Amino acid sequence: MNQKNSMTSRLFFLAFAIFINGLGNALTVSMNLGSALWTASAVNISSFFSWNLGSTLFGTALFAALLTIVLLRQLKLKQVIGNIIFMVPFSLVVNYLTSLLMMTSLPELPYFVKLIIDLIGIVFIGCGISLYQRVNLIMHPVDDLMKVIRFKYTNGNPVSAQLLTFTPPIIIIIIIFAVSHQLSAVNIGTIFALFFQGKIVDLADKFLFPNFKYENIK
């Protein structure tokens, strides 16, 4: 894929993607009915070690960046730096919106309403992933990892790539649960993300701003 989108449109969709992905993560964390797996692993690490969530999200992103380097078998320094830069506004957005939502009455809503909000959050995350993978300037290191797996190892299949990308956080969550016997941000929404987030990315590729195509995917 070698589509040429204007730089203005790419920057706009990058900013929009950061916001909706950050909002989606904040919704899932504040509802506590299940986050996307990498976020859930960060929440559990944060809870277990009493670390700041934003800092923990940044740390798990660095880990994902290292995995990407291993899979590519080369260090693309510009790409790594760009993705780390991405984490600064993304972590701030997630941390700020999560704190803001926790101060509202949303966490006190009836279970069924919270579950719907949680699932909407996961849909937002999938839409954000689709957009900044198409922008292909900078992106969350986890989603860069998914992009590498998708186009290098699974023939462009987002569902298979997403499932493979979820393997490390699943292992992290299992280890923390085995040690602490406590789980946070793991619930129905997590199962939904496990099985459907890749499909959400696929559908967003086709129906969310369909004229905005993938940029320079090799």
Identify the pLDDT of residue 218: 58
pLDDT band at 114 (very low <50, low <70, confident <90, very high): very high
Identify the pLDDT of residue 3: 60
Question: CA–CA separation, 2 vs 178, rounded Å?
Answer: 46
Q: Count structural domains, the chain.
A: 1
Residue 111: which domain range? 7-207
Identify the pLDDT of residue 186: 87
What pTM does this model have? Answer: 0.86
pLDDT band at 200 (very low <50, low <70, confident <90, very high): very high
Residue 1 has pLDDT above 70, yes or no: no
Identify the pLDDT of residue 2: 54
Q: Between 18 and 211, where is the model more confident?
A: 18
| The residue type at 123 | V
Instruction: Give per-residue pLDDT as tens, 140-199.
Output: 899 899 989 999 999 989 899 999 999 999 999 999 999 999 988 888 999 999 999 999
C-alpha separations of 174 from 42, 164, 177, 186 in Å: 13, 16, 5, 11
Using an 8 Å Cβ cutoff, are 62 and 141 in contact? yes
Q: With CA atoms as reference, report the closest residue to 71 among 179, 124, 177, 148.
A: 148
In a domain, 131, yes or no: yes
Stretch among 10-24, 99-113, 203-217 having the lowest mean pLDDT: 203-217
In a domain, 190, yes or no: yes
Identify the pLDDT of residue 184: 86
- What's the mean per-residue pLDDT of the chain? 90
Mean pLDDT of 6-14: 91
Q: Residue 211 carries which DSSP code?
A: T
In a domain, 147, yes or no: yes
In a domain, 214, yes or no: no
pLDDT band at 119 (very low <50, low <70, confident <90, very high): very high
The per-residue DSSP string of 129-177 comes to HHHHHHH-SS--HHHHHHHHHHHHHSTT-HHHHHHHHTHHHHHHHHHHH
In a domain, 158, yes or no: yes
Identify the pLDDT of residue 88: 86
In a domain, 94, yes or no: yes
Mean pLDDT of 85-112: 91
Residue 217 has pLDDT above 80, yes or no: no
Phi and psi at residue 37, in whole multiples of 5°? -60, -40
Identify the pLDDT of residue 170: 95
Torsion (CA) 206, 142, 71, 161 in degrees, nearest 10: -40
In a domain, 168, yes or no: yes
Identify the pLDDT of residue 4: 75
In a domain, 216, yes or no: no
The per-residue DSSP string of 79-117 comes to HHHHHHHHHHHHHHHHHHHHHHHHTSSGGGS-HHHHHHH
Instruction: Give per-residue pLDDT as tens, 27-68.
Output: 988 998 988 899 889 989 999 999 988 789 889 988 999 999
